[in-house]
Amino acid sequence: MRTSPTPAPTAPVPSTPAPTTVDPDRPDLTPAARRVLETASRLFYERGIHAVGVDLIAAEAGVTKKTLYDRFGSKERIVVDYLATRDARWRAFLAAHHDPAELTPVERVLAVFDASKEWMAAHSGKGCSMVNAHAEISDPAHPAYAVITGQKQWMLELFTRLAEDVSPDAARELGRSLMLLHEGTLVSDGLDVFPDAFGRARRLAAFLLSAAREAS
């Protein structure tokens, strides 16, 4: 008599880490420091991190290099603050989309794709800032590297947590599949590879979620 194999234990769903402690409105900054960060953020995103030097940042922010270094200490610190602040703003923006209590578990997942489409249209005409930054900063020793990889790990854990409410047994694999779909969509949309990348991704996500629910 054949016996059914013992199912493998389900891997625990990782907890979603607390959001970045950076306040997206940055009340800790002086007016001059705020101008430096806002100017650097615009220039880094539009031109690339390596292409923008502190001389240009200081000139366009209307401050001296001494003021810039007094407030931030180094260009690396400005890069870290640029990415951390952008991440904090994204997390707050995203929470407003997937947190409403009236949403079903499936709708919460799809809301991430809706939020990303809206965010990219309004804030990310040149693609995902974290992906762009990683193309320039691949050294784990760089202080901004942890911000970049941490943001993507947070997204994976968010998808996994949301997937657990749809299909607890498949949450780990479903979370990974949704992450792959989302990140590929960010790149496709940023490069304008084909029209309505997020619309297509949303439909594929809905299919994955439906299949996972039926299989559970």
> Which whole number is the average pLDDT over 126-147?
96
Give the closest residue to 185 by CA, choosing from 202, 197, 199: 197
**Amino acid in the structure at residue 90:** W
Which CB contacts under 8 angstroms, 24+ apart, belong to 128-132? 128/183, 128/186, 128/187, 128/190, 129/45, 129/83, 129/86, 130/83, 130/87, 131/183, 131/186, 131/187, 131/190, 132/45, 132/48
Q: What is the mean pLDDT of residues 26-49?
A: 93
What pLDDT sits at residue 160? Answer: 97
13 pLDDT tier (thresholds 50, 70, 90):
very low
pLDDT at 24: 65
155 residue type, one letter:
M
Top-confidence residue, 109 or 25: 109
Give pLDDT, residue 6.
42
- Spatial neighbors of 75 by CB under 8 A, at least 6 apart, are 53, 54, 57
pTM of the predicted protein model: 0.85
pLDDT digits (tens, 9 = 90+) for 199-210: 999 999 999 999
Q: Which of 10-24, 87-101, 117-131 has the weakest average pLDDT?
A: 10-24
Q: How far apart are CA 115 and CA 96, in angstroms?
A: 9
Going by pLDDT thresholds of 50, 70 and 90, the confidence category of residue 28 is confident
